[in-house]
Structure 1
Amino acid sequence: MTRSTIVRALALTVTSALATATLAAPAHAHANANSHADAHGRAVSDLPAVTPRAETQVLHDDEAGGNADADDPAIWRNTAAPGRSLVIATAKEGGLRVYDLRARTLQSLSTPPAAGPDDAPGRFNNVDLVHGLRLASVRADLAVVSDRGHDRLRFYRIDRDRVGGPLTDVTDPAAPPVFSKNQDEINGQRTAYGLATWTDPTSGKSFALVSRRERTSITLLELRPTRAGKVTYRTVRTLDLPSTFRLPNGTSWSPCGEPGELPQVEGMVVDPVNGTLYAGQENVGIWRLRADLTGGRPKLIDKVREYGVPGIYDEETEECAPGDDPGYGGSKLSADVEGLTLVTESDGDGHLLASSQGDSTFAAYDRQVKDDNAYEGGFRIAPANSGLDGSEECDGAAALNAPLGPQYPNGLLVVQDGHDVPGEGDRPATNFKFVDLGTVMDALND
């Protein structure tokens, strides 16, 4: 059982306990008794619903489906022809997929082969974009991917009209492991996981921020083009988020997980205007810190509902048995907190969107740091009348607030759907849903 499965089991148990709280409960428990309501007092089921306009072909995480599992998307805007923009998405061991705005598959790329017969295979976890990096005397846009299987970053040049598909691998073969010292450590899979890119407007240098699976580490990598037109990177610095937390009652708490695992980060996004990094520590909450990983302590801007709930890991069942909720968690997010993305506006306003995986909703926060990223509402992605299902247990999300031709004149939100419906028996089925961003903004402004 994966950490995400363990935490979701804990989240469901906490949800049930909260929903059945009685008047005999302690006073502090009542503070969280309405944790399934947003700031406006609406229950999760009453949150405004938006519906998808399109969905990608289903991916199956089994041998028959190529061990393909939808995870994280990025949206590349074709400035010359916005209606011909692209969605680039990871499929874990299934590699990369490239979609047009009708959610049709344009290109599939495999992960690099395993280093040896007993070594971990390639596994593409998260993807983000870098614009205008100089490669061999020309400027190019890149898709940057975290390859968890090999503990490396992979780079793909984007050329919309290239024969054979828009993406070309430009990874330097000598690119080093991000965290591991040798192949044995790589095979242990405490490797490159979450990913966000950032270009420093002062220096013009481009970076990737990469988190480590089953650890609290985030490392800053400077992206470095080579003379051969390839891309590599070097480590600038690393920061570790907390794994243990002091609670108001004076006790210490760590999220429950498998022995030896620490609360990891996956979803991350950088505000390009002010260089602020938002990082989702899956079963803790959302952190705000500087993208260069310097200056000041990170701030936890919101907590998951399960924050502070004690748990005991049962090795026989491979699940966490939660204790009583002390009421120290938040009210907007249910573990895991996953895909983070920004909706930017020309006047500097906008939203930070976060996937609340435990209850299949999304939370929106003010983009403005000066307003302390205040919560501004939530929404669900529900089934459409056309027969498209919604999004459940969303892993990754990407938003672009810019016209994308006649199909998405108000911008686009792409989200992973962890349970595509209808499925095929017991086969795990995932895909990506395309949502008109204008409908999301309308829902948040209601």
Structure 2
Amino acid sequence: MSSSLALALVPLFLAAPSATPVLEPTAVTQTFGDPADADDPAIWVNPANPERSVVLGTLKEGGLAAFDLSGRTIGTYPAPAGPTPDSKPGRFNNVDVLGDLAFVSDRGRDRIRVYRVDEHGAKDVTNPRTKPVFSADETEVDEQHTAYGLAAGTVGGKDVVVTSRRSETRIALLQVEKGRTVDTKVVSTLDLPKKFKLPNGKTWQPCEEPGDDPQLEGMVIDSRAGVLYAAQEDVGIWRIPLRAKGFGQPVLVDEVRTFGAPMKFDEATEECVADGPNPGFGGKWLEADAEGLTLLGDDMLIASSQGDSRFVLYRRTGSFKALSDFKVAGVEHSDGAAIVTGKLNLLVVHDGERPDGTGFAFLRR
């Protein structure tokens, strides 16, 4: 916690519980609209000149964008088309950076796309023969239970990617294979719970659209500790030990406020609505959906509380504990966040509800 950005956040820990500090962005990107809908950021730090670092952001069917530190767009890279005119097109969901490589979950085609990043932007270096992560064939890909959330890291000396499956509780661990092009291959999967035993002895299952299970999206890897943190949107945050070839036993370390609350799907509004009083088994900090996760320093975690447009700061070492929260002025319903400290002190968050679309907000200290 020695960087200026980390120090700037320290007063938030001391704020009164009723007071949520609001931080002002230092820059914002252009606005994007459907189908180029902004979603998740990542930061590449230029080792030669941090002031020429690059922020990446996924734009769903619009592909991937690269920005300079003032928020100016320096490049856009389209998502690939499907194998036939009737196939679903590429749709980039989440992005993470490891070294000079950016890994992107292509939820449209169920692949992990890989880009090499420098100060001029990004270049696609994905192995053209890379296989779907979860789907057995291209027909199953078009059913869209595909790669969704994503995190990259190094565990046991191996570069790895973890991705979740859209509309399901499954996550997959992939090892990175580098050559002239870069590939990722699945080495293990883990199915997180769909139902939960409550303190009153009842079994609770989160409300979802018919046919869907409670999916995960926001994820981050603590490479030093060998731990994956994963946000199950309507459930809470999981801490999962991570090895180069598999997952350890997951532990739910914080729940959303509506954890255990009876809800039902309203077909008229296509939303889940309350179906009885909240029994109070949930946590105090996260308003569903629990979304983007990013690591701050050696012992902190930032999580997006998307339902009420806040960000929650946790101590992740020792006993996992929420410390405080904050908002970013003008940012609503954030999906993703990324932070780096040291030579470059920068927090980037997704802004999910601008009047004319979506984009990203930058905070530098």
**TM-score between the two structures when normalised by the length of structure 1:** 0.76
- The percent of aligned pairs where both chains have the same amino acid is 50
CA contact (8 A) 1:355 1:361 kept: yes
CA contact (8 A) 2:54 2:118 kept: no
Residue 295 of structure 2, aligned match among 315, 335, 342: 342
Aligned mates of 2:166, 2:326 — CA distance in 1: 29
Query: Is it true that 1:97 corresponds to 2:25 in the alignment?
Result: no
Residue of structure 1 equivalent to 2:337: 397
CA positional deviation for 1:233: 1.9
Query: Secondary structure at the residue paired with 1:59?
Result: coil
Residue of structure 1 equivalent to 2:115: 156
Query: Superposition pairs for residues 177-326 of structure 1, below 5 Å?
Result: 177-200=132-155, 202=156, 204-226=157-179, 229-292=180-243, 294=246, 296-323=248-275, 324-326=277-279
Query: Superposition pairs for residues 378-393 of structure 1, below 5 Å?
Result: 378-382=325-329, 390-393=330-333
CA contact (8 A) 1:192 1:212 kept: yes
CA positional deviation for 1:434: 0.2
Give the residue type in structure 2 aligned to 1:42: P
Aligned mates of 1:296, 1:70 — CA distance in 2: 33
Write the deviation string for residues 43-95 of structure 1: whole angstroms up to 9, x where unpaired: 3xx2111110000000011xxxxx11111111111111111111011010111
Query: Secondary structure at the residue paired with 1:185?
Result: helix
Aligned mates of 1:403, 1:299 — CA distance in 2: 34
Aligned mates of 2:288, 2:304 — CA distance in 1: 9
Give the residue type in structure 2 aligned to 1:320: C
Aligned mates of 1:321, 1:333 — CA distance in 2: 18
Query: Superposition pairs for residues 12-91 of structure 1, below 5 Å?
Result: 42-43=17-18, 46-61=19-34, 67-91=35-59
Residue 358 of structure 2, aligned match among 417, 423, 430: 430
Query: Is it true that 1:143 corresponds to 2:102 in the alignment?
Result: yes
Give the residue type in structure 2 aligned to 1:357: Q
Aligned mates of 2:103, 2:242 — CA distance in 1: 17
Aligned mates of 1:432, 1:373 — CA distance in 2: 29
CA positional deviation for 1:403: 2.3
Structure with greater Cα Rg: 1
Residue of structure 1 equivalent to 2:78: 110
Aligned mates of 1:276, 1:218 — CA distance in 2: 14
Write the deviation string for residues 258-309 of structure 1: whole angstroms up to 9, x where unpaired: 1110000100001121111100000100000112375652111100001111
**TM-score between the two structures when normalised by the length of structure 2:** 0.93
Aligned mates of 1:223, 1:111 — CA distance in 2: 21
Aligned mates of 1:159, 1:378 — CA distance in 2: 33
Write the deviation string for residues 176-230 of structure 1: whole angstroms up to 9, x where unpaired: 0000011221111100000001112x4x32110010000001100011123xx00
Query: Secondary structure at the residue paired with 2:333?
Result: coil
Higher share in helix = 1
Unaligned runs of 5+ in 2: 1-12
Query: Is it true that 1:374 corresponds to 2:321 in the alignment?
Result: yes
Residue of structure 2 equivalent to 1:408: none
Query: Is it true that 1:364 corresponds to 2:313 in the alignment?
Result: yes
Aligned mates of 1:412, 1:296 — CA distance in 2: 32
CA contact (8 A) 2:51 2:69 kept: yes
Write the deviation string for residues 385-405 of structure 1: whole angstroms up to 9, x where unpaired: xxxxx211000000001223x
Aligned mates of 1:289, 1:59 — CA distance in 2: 34
Aligned mates of 1:209, 1:296 — CA distance in 2: 13
CA contact (8 A) 2:40 2:337 kept: yes
Query: Secondary structure at the residue paired with 2:38?
Result: coil
Superposed CA RMSD in Å reads: 1.5
CA positional deviation for 1:166: 2.3
Aligned mates of 1:327, 1:195 — CA distance in 2: 31
> How many positions carry a matched residue from both structures?
351
Aligned mates of 1:334, 1:115 — CA distance in 2: 39
CA, structure 1 residues 256+295, in 2 after alignment: closer, same or farther (shift >3 Å)?
closer
CA positional deviation for 1:322: 1.0
Query: Secondary structure at the residue paired with 1:174?
Result: coil
CA positional deviation for 1:42: 2.2
CA contact (8 A) 2:164 2:172 kept: yes
Aligned mates of 1:319, 1:395 — CA distance in 2: 18
CA contact (8 A) 1:39 1:375 kept: no
Residue of structure 2 equivalent to 1:128: 96
Write the deviation string for residues 322-376 of structure 1: whole angstroms up to 9, x where unpaired: 12111111110000010000012xxxx43100000011001011131xx222111
CA contact (8 A) 1:301 1:372 kept: no
CA contact (8 A) 2:190 2:247 kept: no
Query: Secondary structure at the residue paired with 1:116?
Result: coil
